[in-house]
Amino acid sequence: MLIRVDDIHFAYPGGVKALDGISVTIQPGEKVALVGENGSGKTTLARHLNGLLRPQAGSVWIGEWQTTQNTTAKLARRVAYVFQNPDEQLFRQRVWDEVAFGPQNLGYSPEQVRIMVENALDLMGLSGLSHLNPRDLGYSGRKRVALASALAMQTPVLVFDEPTAGLDAKELEYLGLVIISLHQQGKTIVIISHDMDFLAESMDRFILLNNGIVSLDAPAQQFFKQKILLETSGLVAPQITRLSQSLRHSDLAMSVDQFLMIRRRER
């Protein structure tokens, strides 16, 4: 599913300009990190991908569907969006019902819904908790329910807004495995996050937003070579990349594995 964002502009009521001419094309199966300062427009851009927001100028295409010409309900077949704050997303009384909401509204049969929900719960390690009220789970538990709700819809495109915020090391590791699995299924994955260590290990392409425009769009290695731009944009490169830079490696490491390989080679 090709995503094409063509020169979009968007201002919130009251005049706060969030997007000021953004153009991005995302190929099917790409893993894209959307990074930038708080308030740079990341969430606003992400919400344009599933039609939660519509551009005031320019266009967004999900395959051959233009978001302004299609309902959000229809776009939900192609793009699932996971809210930054699970409490903005979750509203049902049981984990199972919450996760089933999407597939039910996409018109799947009860049997299909059951299979979709069970797969999603299983993937997010929630199978034993399906009877609980999402509100009785901790913050990261509710985040997992929010993720499961998106995965259950089996859309080709997944947009995760800050899935890493508030997760501990074990949960982050698990999220990394989920992303690998989704990538292997051919899904397009867009992630907003401030956790550069996590992103460098999981994502291939980095898009930097600055005051509503794209100021850098590059593969991970090239992206983190732009030290000055990243600094002025409030970004800090991943730990292992900074270590690699400080030791003057010719290639920048994105993970501990890569670092050890480069270090052994260049010693």
- Give yes or no for residue 211 binding another protein (CB under 8 A): no
The total number of residues shown for the chain amounts to 267
Using alpha carbons, list the distances in angstroms from residue 172 to 105, 139, 186, 193, 227: 30, 14, 21, 12, 26
Answer whether 160's CB lies under 8 Å from 122's CB.
no
* Residue from 145, 82, 75, 135 nearest 105 by CA: 75
- Give yes or no for residue 131 binding another protein (CB under 8 A): no
**What's the order of all strands across the beta sheet hosting 213-219?**
79-82, 157-161, 188-192, 31-36, 205-210, 213-219
- Give yes or no for residue 16 binding another protein (CB under 8 A): yes
Region binding another protein by CB under 8 A among candidate stretches 25-33, 58-66, 69-77, 234-242: 234-242
Give the β-pairing of 17-26 and 188-192: unpaired
CB atoms within 10 A of CB 82: 22
Largest pairwise CA distance in the chain: 60
Query: Smallest distance, Å, CB 169 to another protein?
Result: 3
Answer whether 102's CB lies under 8 Å from 152's CB.
yes
Total site size for another protein, rule CB under 8 A: 42
Query: Smallest distance, Å, CB 86 to another protein?
Result: 10
User: Of residues 112, 140, 211, 215, which one binds another protein by CB under 8 A?
Assistant: 140
- Give yes or no for residue 138 binding another protein (CB under 8 A): yes
User: Of residues 111, 131, 170, 228, which one binds another protein by CB under 8 A?
Assistant: 170
Query: x/- contact string, 89-128, with another protein (CB under 8 A)?
Result: ----------------------------------------
Answer whether 205's CB lies under 8 Å from 34's CB.
no
User: Of residues 14, 71, 110, 128, which one binds another protein by CB under 8 A?
Assistant: 14
For another protein, the closer CB: 188 or 226: 226
Tell me which residues touch another protein (CB under 8 A). 12, 14, 16, 36-39, 43, 84-85, 87, 138-140, 162, 165-171, 173, 194, 196-197, 234-236, 238-240, 242-243, 246-247, 256, 259-260, 263-264, 267
